[in-house]
Amino acid sequence: MSNSAIILISERDSTVRNRSQHNQQKQPDSSCNKKGLQSHNHKLELSAGMLRESSVVILLLGFMCLVRILVLISVQQLSSTGHFNALRARKHLERITSVGPRTIGSPENEITTVNYLLDQIKQIRSESETGPHSITVDVQRPTGSFSINGFISYYDRVTNIAVKLQPKTRAQHFMLANCHFDSVANSPGASDDAVSCSVMLEVLHSLANLSTPLKHGVIFLFNGAEENNLQASHGFITQHPWAQQVRAFVNLEAAGVGGKELVFQTGPENPWLVQAYARAAVHPFASVVGQEIFQSGLIPSDTDFRIYRDFGNIPGIDLAFIENGYIYHTKYDTPERIPTDSIQRAGVLYKCDLVYAVCVVIFSWFVTLVTVLIVALIVTLTGRSMFWYTHFYAAVCLYGSAATGTIVLIHTLTKDIFYRSTSRVYLAELFFDVSLLLWCFLLLILTMCGFCSAYVPMMMVVFPLISKLLLRKHFRARGASLQYSVLYLTGLAVPYVHIMFLIWVVFEVFTPIQGRSGTGIPPDVVLALIVTLATVILSTYFLHVIYLSRSMKHILAGLGSVFTVMFVLVCCGLFFPYSADPSSPRPKRIFVQHTTRRFHALNGSLQSSDSGLCISSVDYTDMQHITPHIPQINDSIRWDCQDRLPYCGSSRKSWYLPAPEVSPEAPLEFRLLSRQETEWGTVKMTFEVKGPSLMSLRMRPQAGASLSSWSFGDRTPQFNRSGGYVISYSRGLDAPAWSFWFEIQPPKSSDASPDEGLISLAVSAHYFSGSDRHSEQLESLLKRFPAWVFPSSWISTYHMYRY
């Protein structure tokens, strides 16, 4: 037992004994009076120092509202003044995005945007000619390949614009600033990543016009191929002669639209870089928790940071806008949605009780998790998944009330049943110590594992402990008074504000991600897990208050009412997941391809073919909400992908509407240039491919055969999780035909199947730009989708060969 609880209980026991002895001396023969006095004293002991239920509600709600307000204030735009001109940067942003989507290989990306950037750089160089700096421009169009995420990424003549700013006396060391000006198909790409390129243009203008020369140089890299597997940055860091002079880098990215830019990755090692950022930034905004979440693979994205870290072995900082990720990679990612301010900132008995109490807390967490997950699964099974996508606070009310109510219920039952005869003050102390112990345990684990985010549990240990020690005397004298409770919550303010901020970041990142995370794990399960985790974390030191409260029945009734009402409203379909509101769009993302598939026999003849409109869902709700608008898109036309094919032309969860063949003006040309047997028993095949700027190649050797070498990367074939070998190809303008080779080890004669050959190859050609990206049937279908759907559409062809 803690000293404060022992002293307080002993003082109260002494007071009760003194009062009892005094009354016995005064009325020694009155047994009735004695019994009445004992009953009265027992009530005094139970009620002394207890809080009214209404006080608990007001205190906790007031505290959480205050914390929430402080978090909201902390994430507001923070403007700064200086040489940087945000209005001029915004003009760059509007000009870059005015051409529309800028996919790799499109004229909008390779010509229009490149020319605009070069013109602006030329003007900056002209204005600063008399200054102390020199500007050198180099347009690089590299070709290469590398392994990433289990497949090979191949690129040919993609575009980089590298700008070297240095004192006229020359510099030996350079800082690299990176952005990318290409975008995904069908999106203007204002936040990802035109705004960063606009910021870099203005930074270049500001630095070039300084009157005092820089000590070191800066290389500004405007890369034109990031969206297709980070290719242009690889071309620069592995091939450009300036790359050898780079000592550190800053990568400007986006996972949302606007808000304060967050440093979410740093390293490797080199803490000086973070220290330099903290000193230089007017309003530094960073969290090591973000880095560890991002690098864990939980977020389905990657940035050029990875390329510079892994292939350049140089330290760097990754900054990104994270607010409003709902419209990331959609048509709503427009310049007007990016605020100018976002641009402007860039004992033994006691030991037994302690063990039992720890078990109670862990048990309450487990039951809470199971309860909330059951609710999430029921919501999913009733077809109301993602109801929170547009109405986020509906999820907080539903899952949060379920989680909070379960925790409060378990501890109320524990208090009233298992600890009925135990002092409530002692229980409050006991469960405070349990919370402290669990945070200490987490601190120890994270420290031993070397996680920098161990500072979070450290805050949750230091601040509550100091507050409790400072309030010890007050607690002994007055018990759980209202004043004590206010002071106790005040002591929790600093760590809880930070915890609430981290929770806000997690929700801000992961909630929009559920709209593009695929159809595997039910998103309600993911969000329910996050809400439960947030509730558990926030509830730890509130257990102390629960055990000091006289009653929790009204709180439980309120939580139960909120849960019941929200559950009924959700199951009735009141909350529709998507929204086309221009001020706050929450679109459903789908992919629509007008595709033609051709399957060739071993002798090269056409074996079969088909054409259609292939619709793929990017989130869990599939076509559930689209079918009422377009009845033809239903489960009767679900895609049936054959496992024996290396790639069937679309994802396995798609819907296929028959349509006429597509006839692109620049059709795919695929040729076997040579086939020869090597002296070591393999068969070497060389191919040539001509087609659009984005293509993919998938290979699957037949049973018993295996690839031994190829012309990609380090020439060691890497098997993909999908059951084959995958190469993603992109090119810039004026690139030659794509040629490649591989060597395959034939199967043993007993395993060979003459009808199957050695290997199956599937080549997909994707037409994202130009006149080939449209068809009459495709445009007709797109017009039928409701306004809250964002269909990313293009033309594609698929050819499967056997050799």
Dihedral (CA of 673, 675, 676, 680) sign = positive
Please report the DSSP string for 177-220 in residue order.
EEEE----TT---IIIIIHHHHHHHHHHHHHHT-SSPPSSEEEE
The Cα 736–Cα 728 span in angstroms is 16
Cβ-contact 653, 662 below 8 angstroms: no
d(CA 237, CA 242): 8
Residue 304's nearest CA partner among 249, 363, 362, 355 is 249
Q: How far apart are CA 113 and CA 732, in angstroms?
A: 13
The two three-digit tokens of residue 647, written as one number: 């790639």
Tell me if 411 sits within 8 A of 546, measured CB to CB.
Answer: yes
Distance of CA 185 to the CA centre of its chain: 21
Answer whether 577's CB lies under 8 Å from 539's CB: no
CB 195 within 8 A of CB 180: no
Give the count of alpha carbons within 13 A of 255, CB side only.
28
- CA geometry: angle at 605 spanning 603 and 606, to 5°? 140
The secondary structure of 544-611, three-state, reads: HHHHHECCCHHHHHHHHHHHHHHHHHHHCCCCCCCECCCCCCECEEEEEEEEEEEEECCCCCEEEEEE
CA triple 666-224-136, angle to 5 deg? 130
Instruction: Count Cβ atoms within 10 A of the Cβ of residue 350 and give its class: 0-12 exposed, 13-18 middle, 19 or more buried.
Output: middle
Residue 26 CA from chain centroid, whole number? 74
Categorise residue 681: left if φ over 0, alpha if ψ from -120 to 50, beta otherwise: left
Structure tokens at 517: 């995370």
Catalytic residue among 202, 226, 227, 508: 226
Name the residue among 3, 114, 27, 4 with its Cα closest to residue 477: 4
Q: What span, in angstroms and rounded, lies between the C-alpha atoms of 169 and 176?
A: 19
How far from chain centre, in Å, is Cα 705? 40
Q: How far apart are CA 194 and CA 200, in angstroms?
A: 10
Report the relative pairing of strands 683-690 and 669-677 from DSSP bridges: antiparallel
Query: Diameter of the chain by CA atoms?
Result: 118
CB-based contacts of 429, cutoff 8 Å, min separation 6: 1, 2, 4, 5, 544
CB atoms within 10 A of CB 170: 8
Q: Residue 644's CB: how many other CB atoms inside 10 A?
A: 10
Cβ-count burial 565-598 (b if 16+ within 10 Å, e if not): ebbebbeeeebebbbeeeeebbbbbbbbbbbbbb
Length of the chain: 803
Nearest to 391 by CA among 574, 166, 189, 597: 574
11 included as an active-site residue:
no
Which ranges in 313-391 belong to alpha helices (H)?
340-345, 348-381
Is there a contact between 607 and 617 (Cβ–Cβ < 8 Å)?
no
Would you please indicate which residues are annotated as catalytic (active-site) residues?
A: 226
